[in-house]
Amino acid sequence: MENYAIVLAAGKGTRMRTELPKCAYPILKKPMIEYILEGIEESVIDETTLVVGHRKEVFYDMLGERVQFVTQEEQLGTGHAVMMAKEALANKQGTTIIMLGDMPLVDSKVIDKMFRYHKDRNNDLTVLTTKFDNPKGYGRIVRSEDGIIESIVEHIDCTDEQKLIKEVNTGIYVVDNKLLFEAVDKIQVNAKKEEYYLTDIIEIMQKDYRVGSFELWDNQKVMGINDLYSVSIAEKYLRDDINKMHMINGVSIINPETVTIGHDVEIAPGVTIYPNTYITGGSVIEAGSKIGPNTEIHTSTVHENVIVKHSLVFDSEIHENSTIGPFAHLRNHAVIGPNNRIGNFVEVKKSTTGNGTKAAHLAYIGDSTTGKNVNFGCGSITVNYDGINKHQTIIGDDVFIGCNTNLVAPLSIGDNVFIAAGSTVTKDVPKGAMAIARNRQINKEDYTKNLIRPKSDSK
């Protein structure tokens, strides 16, 4: 017997007021739907069907082969969305969990617990419920006097008395697969909202089958995202949870409420993270490194004992014992070698630097390969773009590049080269040479008397 998941993500998310379909909206820079799929992939589930509709191509691009897609062309409600999976699933023997694509905090533990409970109790349908002090917007769990779950009533359909019920429908159900599709066929359209409510399966199945519920104490884990305010609450919850995990693991985080770490980031014990820092996109930070303050690191690897402060690092790698910043920008596969110093207002793009290289201030290194112990003087740049194409600069070992130098690519500089300050180098420089590529200085002696001066000076 297999375990299936149906995840509903066809809705537009009107209350979000954003361009992206709601379930693709990022939480800590990762689409909501990916959190749900990760939970599913770690759990007992064997096969996942994702119901998409509004801007479905966004999900196709994002998820590829990871799930089986079915389409709900018109969003006629959560019950209607499940009907769309009928062709793909209805004949299969097994147990199915239905989840909403707008609850990113659910993890595999909740899913596995639900399946276990459902099977232990021999239920045909189990609803996951929780309690909220302010349950506004959620469907309420209506029980009989002896506590048996009878129905779920949506907030807008509640009587004043039902509105006081604090126990709500989380939107997660575990149900016998064949019985599910028999039940959804019987859902009638709701007159008020003109939608097919999935929640109606409780009442439908209640008559002939075993319907139960499981209450989750940690209500935050199953919060639904409906607007950008709830996005911020979910982010805060995740942030606290992730930061706590790292701190317990030996990472020192100063002012943790200002530090955002993505949920797929690896940080070794012994790292220190200073305030106002973001580390996201599966980045890895190795032991002894100090990151921040005011730093963003995305999809990058930082090796041991690196310092990165007041800087941006995207899709890049920094080798051990290097110092980045303040105010440096590494991007698009910048690979910084060990013992480097990349300092104030230096940008490195799609370039590799060798051991011990320094660009301490005001430099641009783009589309370059740099050897070891190269010194980029203040204001030196690789001129990589001719207006149409990008070109490469290759620099050997032990090269000294004087201040305000333009290295016009394509260009190759040999080992042990010295380039005079202010040069615009357009031709390759051979090993061991000194290059001066600027006008020779002229001194005009005794010239002061010819200078035009401001009136107050000229007596």
Catalytic residues: 361
Q: Give the DSSP per-residue string, 233-297.
A: HHHHHHHHHHHHHHHHTT-EESSGGG-EE-TT-EE-TT-EE-SSEEEETT-EE-TT-EE-SSEEE
Among 102, 124, 203, 320, binds Ca ion (CB under 5 A): 102
Q: What are the beta bridge partners of residue 215?
A: 129
Among 31, 79, 135, 224, binds Ca ion (CB under 5 A): 224
Helix, strand and coil percent figures for the chain, each rounded to 5 = 25, 30, 45
11 binds, among ligand UD1, Ca ion, none (CB under 5 to 8 A by kind): ligand UD1
Q: Determine the Cα–Cα distance for residues 367 and 380; give it in Å rounded to an integer.
A: 14
From 104-112, 216-224, 254-262, 347-355, span contacting Ca ion (CB under 5 A): 216-224
Q: Are 364 and 407 in contact (CB under 8 A)?
A: no
Q: Are 321 and 337 in contact (CB under 8 A)?
A: no
Q: Determine the Cα–Cα distance for residues 365 and 164; give it in Å rounded to an integer.
A: 63
152 binds, among Ca ion, ligand UD1, none (CB under 5 to 8 A by kind): ligand UD1
From 115-123, 217-225, 340-348, 396-404, span contacting Ca ion (CB under 5 A): 217-225
101 is a site residue for Ca ion (CB under 5 A): no
Q: Are 119 and 106 in contact (CB under 8 A)?
A: no
169 binds, among Ca ion, ligand UD1, none (CB under 5 to 8 A by kind): ligand UD1
**Chain-centroid distance, C-alpha 67:** 20
Report residue 418 as tokens: 């010295």
By beta-carbon proximity to Ca ion, the closer residue of 238 and 324 is: 238
By beta-carbon proximity to ligand UD1, the closer residue of 152 and 291 is: 152
Closest residue to ligand UD1, judged by C-beta, is: 139
By beta-carbon proximity to Ca ion, the closer residue of 226 and 369 is: 226
By beta-carbon proximity to ligand UD1, the closer residue of 111 and 395 is: 111
Size of the site for Ca ion (CB under 5 A): 3
Q: Determine the Cα–Cα distance for residues 101 and 23; give it in Å rounded to an integer.
A: 5
Q: Determine the Cα–Cα distance for residues 420 and 301; give it in Å rounded to an integer.
A: 35
201 binds, among ligand UD1, Ca ion, none (CB under 5 to 8 A by kind): none
Q: Determine the Cα–Cα distance for residues 275 and 298; give it in Å rounded to an integer.
A: 16
221 binds, among ligand UD1, Ca ion, none (CB under 5 to 8 A by kind): none
By beta-carbon proximity to ligand UD1, the closer residue of 180 and 362 is: 180
Binding site for ligand UD1 (CB under 6 A): 8-11, 22-23, 51, 72, 75-78, 80-81, 100-102, 138-139, 152, 154, 168-171, 197-199, 224, 226
Q: What residues line the site for Ca ion (CB under 5 A)?
A: 102, 224, 226
